[in-house]
Amino acid sequence: MKKLWKKINKQVCQATITVTAALSISAFSVNAEELGYPEKEELKFGFIKLTDMAPIAIAYEKGFFEDEGLYVTIEAQANWKVLLDGVIDGRLDGAHMLAGQPIAATIGYGTEAEIITPFSMDLNGNGITVSNQIWEKMKVNIPKRPDGKPVHPIKADALKPVVEEYLDQGKPFNMGMVFPVSTHNYELRYWLAAGGIHPGFYAPHKGDTSGQLDADVLLSVTPPPQMPATMEAGTIYGYCVGEPWNQQAVFKGIGVPVVTDYEIWKDNPEKVFGISKQFAEKYPNTTIRLTRALIRAAKWLDENNNANRPEAVKILAQSNYVGADAEVIANSMTGTFEYEKGDKREVPDFNVFFRYNATYPYYSDAIWYLTQMRRWGQIDVDKPDSWYFDVAKKVYRPDIYQKAAQSLIADKLMSAADFPTLTTDDGFRAPQTHFIDGIVYNGKAPNEYINKFSIGLKAGDKI
């Protein structure tokens, strides 16, 4: 009897296994085949004139959108606010966004709206530039290499005496960044704070969103393409912005990029592709299909060791995309970066679009932005770790990304080798160590991370 039971049990077990296996296989293939035609075919995407909008331009020019049955119009936007409002009110179906924008919109800092991201657009790609006048003063504080060129990375320690000189004379030291919740704001703040310069707090609960409380350096917003002109006019002494606006300063001879964000935080997440949650729910196939097109474009950009970059530069130089001179765009896109005029150095990973899982929307990336929002007071009260995870899961949608990637593999448009960690990822990058101040970031412990900084709000602090 017992034996019989065992036998039956075993058979049942086996049957279940086969059935589940069959089911899961069929589920998988059904899943892949199920990806139907897009519900909405005519789409309009917004972007800001920066080289990291490249995946959108490439997906259009190389026909990846059309391959998905999507008829996409791409439109440059005046500034980040206009772009975000466009996605919120439906004028735009999706857009190239600052990583902080969907997060800030979701937690209600600025305009409140549910924006999600199924696709992270790139890593790195920003720089901090100072005017020639400030550079001359900074230069004496920077150690030199045997060949006379400054040792990199240049830390804000070199800038500190200059800022102090200005403060002693009672002159404000102004710098530009592109948006209150932009990567650039947090990177500039990170770099300044790592050198002992206080970039100021936000106090939204008191109605102060200038971000200049207790500040040594006053940061203000300028749209990216106007950065060089604003610095030339003397309104700001330096800025943090994406390409080509740092290289533009070198070409025009009005300033010197001192540090790239690659040196501040190696392989930091930069832009994302943002869509409204409502859009993703209403048009699931369209969402997956546009993600597929963008993944293919990102791969094309990094393929064969950046072999396609020169072609990409030509496309981006068209007046309807970035529109700057091709040689300016090429400087950073093809793996070099010119600091001081003539000081051109290899930075092969200055713009990363696909390598190192660049396109995967990691929760830990979202959480880093949240920690910085808390550090500088944009989030005015303490939040438990669980809150950080919840927000990240609301905004970053690896589930959509995975569906897109799996269907690309099923359609043989890409291979499983292109997504080495697709099935094993839990949405958190391993603790990241390459910060300019040596502080390690672990996305699984946000509050612990916030407490590590000497400048910035810590647990329990309130302005």
Partner 1 sequence: MTSLTEKLQPGKVNLPSWLSKQLNHLGKVIMPLIGIICFLFIWSLSASNIDTSLGKFPGPSAVVTQLGNLHQEHMDERSKEQAFYVRQDKRNADRVAKDPNYVAKIRSYTGKETFYQQIGTSLITVLSGFLLAAIVAIPLGIAIGLSKSLNSAINPMIQIFKPVSPLAWLPLVTMVVSAVYISDDPMFAKSFVNSMVTVTLCCLWPMVIQTSVGVASLNSDWLNVSRVLRLPAFTHVQKIVLPATVPAIFTGMRSALGIAWMVLIAAEMLAQNPGLGKFVWDEFQNGSSQSLSRIMSAVFVIGLIGFLLDRGMLVLQRTLSWDKTSASL
* Interface residue with partner 1, options 19, 69, 112, 454 (CB under 8 A): 69
The yes or no reply on residue 38 touching partner 1 (CB under 8 A) is no
Q: Are strands 126-131 and 255-260 parallel, antiparallel or unpaired?
A: antiparallel
The yes or no reply on residue 85 touching partner 1 (CB under 8 A) is yes
The yes or no reply on residue 234 touching partner 1 (CB under 8 A) is no
The yes or no reply on residue 278 touching partner 1 (CB under 8 A) is no
Let me know: does 284 contact 36? Beta carbons within 8 Å: no
* Interface residue with partner 1, options 31, 32, 91, 343 (CB under 8 A): 91
The yes or no reply on residue 34 touching partner 1 (CB under 8 A) is no
Least separation in angstroms between CB 334 and partner 1: 18
How many Å separate Cα 427 from the centre of its chain? 16
The rounded radius of gyration (Å) of the Cα atoms in the chain is: 24
Let me know: does 105 contact 88? Beta carbons within 8 Å: yes
Distance CA 213, CA 103 (A): 23
Q: What angle do CA 95, 80, 352 make, to 5 degrees?
A: 60
DSSP one-letter code for 380: -
The yes or no reply on residue 254 touching partner 1 (CB under 8 A) is yes
The yes or no reply on residue 41 touching partner 1 (CB under 8 A) is yes
The yes or no reply on residue 325 touching partner 1 (CB under 8 A) is yes
The yes or no reply on residue 264 touching partner 1 (CB under 8 A) is no
The yes or no reply on residue 114 touching partner 1 (CB under 8 A) is no
Q: Would residue 256 be called left, alpha or beta, if left means φ above 0 and alpha means ψ between -120 and 50 degrees?
A: beta
Least separation in angstroms between CB 314 and partner 1: 13
The yes or no reply on residue 54 touching partner 1 (CB under 8 A) is no
C-beta of 55 vs 427, nearer to partner 1: 55
The yes or no reply on residue 228 touching partner 1 (CB under 8 A) is yes
Distance CA 314, CA 330 (A): 9
How many residues touch partner 1 under the rule CB under 8 A: the total is: 38
Let me know: does 274 contact 116? Beta carbons within 8 Å: yes
C-beta of 67 vs 208, nearer to partner 1: 67
Let me know: does 51 contact 246? Beta carbons within 8 Å: no
Within 337-356, the residues that bind partner 1 by CB under 8 A are: none
Distance CA 144, CA 157 (A): 15
The yes or no reply on residue 196 touching partner 1 (CB under 8 A) is no
CA dihedral 377, 381, 386, 391 (to 10 degrees): -50
C-beta of 235 vs 318, nearer to partner 1: 318
DSSP one-letter code for 148: S
| Binding residues for partner 1 (CB under 8 A) | 37, 41-42, 49, 60, 63, 66, 69, 71-78, 82, 85, 89, 91, 225-226, 228-229, 232, 248, 252-254, 317-320, 322-325, 328
